[in-house]
Amino acid sequence: MRLDDGRESSNVEDRRGFGAVSGGAGKIGIGTIVIALVAMYFGVDPSVILNGAGTAVDHTAQQTQQPTDPAEDSKVKFVSTILADTEDTWKMLFLQIGKQYEEPKLVLFTGATPTACGTGQSAMGPFYCPMDRKVYIDLAFYKDLQDRFHAPGEFAQAYVIAHEVGHHVQNLLGISNKVQQLRQSSRSEAKSNALSVKLELQADCFAGVWAFHANQARSILESGDIEAGLNAASAIGDDRLQTQAQGYAVPESFTHGSSAQRVEWFKRGLAQGDMQQCDTFAS
Ligand SMILES: [Zn+2]
């Protein structure tokens, strides 16, 4: 990616080094970890997993900040630059539909951190909490993305942020709220999961919309970037993750969409940068 002249965002909240010093981590059962592994990537409603897991950050425990890894500095700059680019892009797109874009915060953390949606854990992967309008990411995820999911490349990393910001856009547009209500009133888990998939695929599509406009305005994409993004979308499809975790995939339990679906919707946003093309709920 070409990001040399890009500004950095002022909305990054750095909580790295404030690890969870509580006893909460010890209470996480192996079952929770398996569920988290299957559901984690990304944007899963954290309260679903966390409230069931019986974990809590002990706020009385003294939290001392560990020194942060200097090797991460360039990653922090990268994340901050991508976030700033999403701010510029979505500000412009919201203006076009007569709305005002309110910028989300992005929290960097290590291990675990309190959020308005419950305790955030690194094991969940990056996520967005609609209650406090913040994107949460442990930079260690990028190592996972590269090593475990074989999705290297800067654009793969940018896509992760753009996807979470896509959830923020859904929140601002009132889409998340509507879906949440529908999920609560839907009797079957399969139906509820299907709604979750539509929400996730739309966030993928919005990530593509961002990339289209950012590239038009600032020529950020270099050769190989789009492939890296599509590869990442494919690597974190539910079918791929479930097969890795348990040897087979159960489509009714998908909450994010299959690899093919994620690639398809990301591509759809990327093709024309048109938000209208991202109506995953239409069909
Ligand atoms: Zn998501």
pLDDT along the chain (283 residues), means of 10: 92 85 45 48 48 45 69 92 98 97 97 94 90 95 90 93 97 95 90 93 97 95 92 87 85 89 94 96 82
Angle, in degrees to the nearest 10, between helices 154-172 and 140-147: 120
Distance 255 CA to ligand 1 centre (A): 9
Backbone angles phi, psi at 134, to 5 degrees: -125, 145
Distance 226 CA to ligand 1 centre (A): 19
Residue 185, CA distances (Å) to 51, 78, 195 in order: 20, 40, 11
Distance 100 CA to ligand 1 centre (A): 23
Residue 261 CB neighbours (<10 A): 22
* 3-state SS class at 42: coil
Distance 39 CA to ligand 1 centre (A): 10
Distance 78 CA to ligand 1 centre (A): 20
Distance 64 CA to ligand 1 centre (A): 31
Per-residue model confidence (pLDDT) at position 63: 58
Per-residue model confidence (pLDDT) at position 87: 98
Q: Where are the beta strands (DSSP E) in the chain?
A: 12-15, 105-109, 112-115, 118-121, 127-129, 134-137
Distance 187 CA to ligand 1 centre (A): 23
Distance 167 CA to ligand 1 centre (A): 7
Distance 43 CA to ligand 1 centre (A): 3
Q: CA 139, 4, 41: angle at the middle one, nearest 5?
A: 25
Per-residue model confidence (pLDDT) at position 70: 84
Distance 202 CA to ligand 1 centre (A): 9
Per-residue model confidence (pLDDT) at position 26: 42
Distance 283 CA to ligand 1 centre (A): 20
| Residues with Cβ–ion distance below 5 A, ligand 1 | 42-43, 200, 203
Distance 220 CA to ligand 1 centre (A): 23
Per-residue model confidence (pLDDT) at position 283: 65
CA 221 to chain centre: 20
Distance 139 CA to ligand 1 centre (A): 17
CB 13 within 8 A of CB 106: yes
Show the tokens assigned to 43: 């944007």
Distance 99 CA to ligand 1 centre (A): 23
Per-residue model confidence (pLDDT) at position 64: 65
